[in-house]
Amino acid sequence: MKRIDLLVTGIGCLVTPPGNVPRCGQQMKEVHVITDAAVAIREGRIVSFGPAKEVLDLLADVEIAETIDVGGRMVTPGLVDPHTHLVHGGSREHELALKRSDVSYLDILAQGGGILNTVQNTRAASEQELYDKARRSLNEMLLNGVTTVEAKSGYGLTLEDELKQLRVAKRLNDTHPVEIVSTFMGAHAVPLAYKGCAEEYVDFIVNEMVPKVAEEELAEFCDVFCEKGVFSIEQSRRILLKGKEFGLLPKIHADEIKPLGGAELAGEIGAISAEHLLAATDKGFAAMAEHRVIPVLLPGTSFNLGLAKHARARDMIDTYELPVALATDYNPGSCPTESIQLIMMLASLNLKMTPEEILTACTINAANALGRGRDIGSIAVGKRADLTIFDAPNLAYLPYHFGINHTFGVIKNGSVIVWNRTIVTKEAGKEEAAL
Ligand code: NIG
Ligand code: FE
């Protein structure tokens, strides 16, 4: 072995799911725990990890440029948030009173509020304003321990405004240490200009938007809000198949409120993931299992909408052996939070997932929901050195001690970017207020 750029020592316990592929069913509980561990990093990748003594023996004659001691804390793979609506204008706290008086999410949307209110604010905002707002949220996510984030468009709903959102996401990816993975979601709602003519809007999406997004290489995935009163199964199929034709892999907001059959559609068209799934049926789960679709569950959304119903994570894991992933669904309507640690707690409380399953869902399964299982999502030799350092003695402590941020530090691509709960730059070695 040649030189080591960074040696991370003093790891009280290192916890990681193994391997690169989605962990299904009971495999989700099997995480590796190494006490008194160390991780060696070169050129942004992990070159060795294991019990500190073994790693240090291996490095006996190797030059080590920098060593950091994490003081006995717990280290996991950098967390991955595979479903967010990161880039948008404005906020919707004015809808709180309506929500509290039991006006439903879909009724607020049908009255021209909800997503359509955020569409107005997003169209009115400049690229710089959208960038500044999203960057603040991204910093919150980073401070929570997240190193890779998916970001959907879907608050523009015109060609120019959708491209504007996607360009902001691209610029964030280029300038912020957290990696941003973009999804085109022009089919998030039917815009007011097409009220009563949803089919014409779908024509516009497939004929104009998808080809342009693909041509400008602004997204890797295509998503649709497949829901009663929004986009039907037929419309969703048309949009997602057109996206696939143009190289945008399908994702789908499926069976969130009504059991329309979005989970079955995800199986049929070979979607990489299907999200929400509160109302999905056993037939839908079976179709997903058969076609290896990853369920991305969003317990913050059901919690914040005050729903009594939750996604059937136990059935998905125990009966259908699906590889469940978790995400924030960060958005200004149904889930205004950047906190993946809150989501971990809600997955424990409402989805009855174990701490080990939760870690797997927030790391390797989430990475696979973004097509990045070979690169991130577990601590393994050759993978990107993305690590989260927690002020916690063990995994169960995270959902147990709730409502606070346990993240002490974050390493992204082998660089320390959060230390002592503060964003730092490696070059400056001090707090970078501008981030
Ligand atoms: O995933 N359900 C549709 N889309 C988002 C909510 C977007 C919004 O309300 O602004 C979701 O929950
Ligand atoms: Fe969403």
- What pLDDT sits at residue 119? 97
- Residue 381, pLDDT > 50, answer yes
- Which residues sit with their C-beta closer than 6 Å to ligand 1? 85, 114-115, 118, 225, 253, 256, 301, 329, 331-335
Nearest atom in ligand 1 to 329's CA: 1
Per-residue pLDDT tens over the stretch 17-60:
999 999 999 999 999 999 999 999 999 999 999 999 999 999 99
7-20 tens-digit pLDDT: 999 999 999 999 99
Question: Which amino acid residue places its CA nearest to atom 1 of ligand 1?
Answer: 329
Residue 433 has pLDDT above 70, yes or no: no
- The mean pLDDT value for 206-220 works out to 98
> Does 408 have pLDDT greater than 80?
yes
Sorted by sequence, the CB contacts under 8 Å of residue 340 that are 6+ apart come out as 79, 81, 141, 144, 145, 146, 326, 327, 328, 362
Nearest Cα neighbor of 87 from 331, 329, 304 is: 331
What band does 120 get if pLDDT is binned at 50, 70 and 90?
very high
Q: Is 390 helix (H, G, I), strand (E, B) or coil?
A: strand
* 432 pLDDT more than 50: no
Which pLDDT score, from 0 to 100, does residue 112 have? 84
Q: What does the pLDDT average to over 275-279? A: 98
Q: What pLDDT does residue 415 have? A: 97
146-152 vs 179-187, strand pairing mode: parallel
> Ligand 1: which of 83, 85, 121 to mutate, most ligand atoms within 8 Å of CB?
85
Which residue reads 């991780």 in tokens?
39
* d(C-alpha 335, C-alpha 299), whole Å: 9
Least confident of 83-92, 108-117, 164-173, 311-320: 108-117
Residue 283 has pLDDT above 50, yes or no: yes
Q: Between the CA of residue 308 and those of 103, 122, 285, 304, 335, what are the distances in Å?
A: 15, 31, 21, 11, 16
Residue range 309-332: mean pLDDT, rounded = 98
Q: How far apart are CA 89 and CA 85, in angstroms?
A: 11
pLDDT of 290 reads: 98
Alpha-carbon distance 277 to 221, whole Å? 19
What type of residue is 72?
G
* Alpha-helix residue ranges (DSSP H) falling in 144-195: 159-175
Torsion sign, CA atoms 55, 412, 426, 44: positive
Residue 118 has pLDDT above 60, yes or no: yes
Q: Give the H/E segment covering residue 391.
A: none
| Residue 331 CB-density burial (10 A; 0-12 exposed, 13-18 middle, 19+ buried) | buried
Q: Output the residue whose Cα is nearest ligand 1's atom 8.
A: 333
pLDDT at position 2, please? Answer: 80
Q: For residue 275, what pLDDT is reported?
A: 98
Q: How many whole angstroms separate alpha carbon 365 and alpha carbon 322?
A: 10
CA of 69 to the centre of ligand 1 (A): 41
Nearest CA to ligand 1 atom 6: 334
Residue 155 CA, closest ligand 1 atom number: 10
Give the pLDDT confidence score for residue 111 in this predicted structure: 85
Q: What is the mean pLDDT of residues 121-138?
A: 98
- Looking from the CA of residue 227, the nearest atom of ligand 1 is 2
Least confident of 90-99, 335-344, 394-403: 90-99
- Please give the distance, rounded to the nearest whole angstrom, from the Cα atom of residue 228 to the centre of ligand 1: 14
Average confidence (pLDDT) over 241-265? 97
CA of 84 to the centre of ligand 2 (A): 6
**Residue to mutate, 88, 328, 334, ligand 1, most ligand atoms under 8 Å from C-beta:** 334
What average pLDDT is seen over the chain? 96
Q: How far is CA 363 from CA 125, 238, 260, 370, in A?
A: 33, 31, 29, 11
Q: What is the mean pLDDT of residues 245-252?
A: 98
User: Out of 103-117, 123-137, 266-280, which region has the weakest mean confidence (pLDDT)?
Assistant: 103-117
Distance from C-alpha of 288 to C-alpha of 322, rounded to nearest angstrom: 8
Distance 291 CA to ligand 1 centre (A): 25
221 CA distance to ligand 2 centroid (A)? 13
Q: What is the pTM of this model?
A: 0.97
pLDDT digits (tens, 9 = 90+) for 145-189: 999 999 999 999 999 999 999 999 999 999 999 999 999 999 999
- Choose which residue among 107, 153, 188 to substitute to test ligand 1 binding: the one with the highest number of ligand atoms within 8 A of its C-beta: 188
**Token pair listed for 51:** 């019990």
* Edge-to-edge strand list for the sheet holding 179-187: 79-81, 146-152, 179-187, 221-226, 249-254, 273-276, 294-297, 325-326
CA-wise closest residue to 165 among 262, 87, 246: 87
Closest CA to 168 of 207, 210, 211, 138: 138
Confidence of residue 238 (pLDDT cuts 50, 70, 90): very high
Residue 431 pLDDT greater than 70, yes or no: no
Q: Say whether pLDDT at 428 is over 60.
A: no
Distance, CA of 276 to CA of 134 (rounded, Å) = 23
pLDDT digits (tens, 9 = 90+) for 86-106: 999 999 999 999 999 999 988
